[in-house]
Amino acid sequence: MKYRYLGKTGLLVSRICLGTMTFGAKDWGCDSKTSIQLIHKYLEAGGNFIDTADIYAGGASEGIVGEALRDKKRDDIVLATKCLFRTGTSPTSKGLSRKHIIEACEASLRRLKTDYIDLYYIHGSDPFTPWEGTMQTLNDLVRQGKVRYLGCSNIFAWQILKANGISALLNLEKLVCGQYMYNLINRDAEREILPACQDQGMGFTSWSPLGAGMLLNKYHKGGKPSEGTRLFYRTEIDGARFWHERTFEVANIVTEISKKTGISPVRLALSWILHDKRVTSIIIGVKRMDQLEENLTMGDWDLAEDVWEELDTKTAYDLGHLSEFARHVYKSAFGDEER
């Protein structure tokens, strides 16, 4: 298993991160026994980075992770979780207010059966809470020893810069990692998120690297997701993300290159992401041992440059006018100068 530094923190994490959204999820996930076996297999393979969230399976995911790590050496593991979404019926059981962040963190610590969280993400933005209050509260959690590092997920690049600017002004802990959807289908993170994380010295973790399985070409345009699959049960959420024309076009490209090179679609999709050194780790989501074993092959395997270039070119994504203008400016102003 290869490791990469999480931004400029000096913290080394495995470039394959074990996502746990399937753990304890009814209908489309896996049960507690299987989940624990998957966690232990991942750790035995050299993985040290586990990602969960307080809303995964209604908190059951965190509970399963805590049980799986009960007899493991905690200091060898980088454990990440998140807060933002509603976790109870109270009007205050959501958002990024001081009250909810503190209560959410305490609840996660109890479920995870640990004294500290290595990486604590805000799971999105809260339009009703000023960033000053959110960053001050997160800073307090670090000072209290309950959290080691801070991260963000699903917020805009300008919000990353605003949050870290406030932290710099007030001498608070900064965000050191971003977690975003990034795959061959959805490449919009290349527009501003990846550059923003690089500028801020932040790590970057990619979720849904296989596009909810769409890149494996197991779904067909005009049909419907198979019963029992994640897309079948989460069509309302994942349908808009993946069930569209570009998805099927990209999946066909991956299949075509896979047949030509003999490299599996899983390897192609995951290794394409890891080729970008701005990416710290890819978050894999599995519910069976064979899925985990196949994903783990990417722990120390890299894609040949010519194959990567073909895959990258054929799945090119329109990043819009500003990105195109920036390329034009660079070429006209600096020519072939080294960056």
Quick check: is 323 in a domain? no
Q: Which of 234, 237, 302 is nearest to 268 (CA)?
A: 302
Say what the pLDDT of residue 21 is.
97
- Catalytic residue status for 56: yes
**Cβ contact 63:35 at 8 Å:** no
Quick check: is 326 in a domain? no
Quick check: is 25 in a domain? yes
Quick check: is 213 in a domain? yes
Quick check: is 220 in a domain? yes
**Cβ contact 9:41 at 8 Å:** no
d(CA 138, CA 101): 8
Q: Which domain holds residue 162?
A: 3-313
Annotated catalytic residue within 3, 5, 42, 56: 56
Give the count of domains, the chain. 1
pTM of the model: 0.94
Residue environment code for 26-36, b if the CB has 16+ CB neighbours within 10 A, otherwise e: eebbbeeebbb
Quick check: is 62 in a domain? yes
Other Cβ atoms less than 10 A from the Cβ of 172: the count is: 20
339 pLDDT more than 60: no
pLDDT tens digits along 273-286? 999 999 999 999 99
Quick check: is 185 in a domain? yes
51 pLDDT more than 90: yes
pLDDT tens digits along 184-212? 999 999 999 999 999 999 999 999 999 98
Quick check: is 46 in a domain? yes
The CATH number for 107's domain is 3.20.20.100
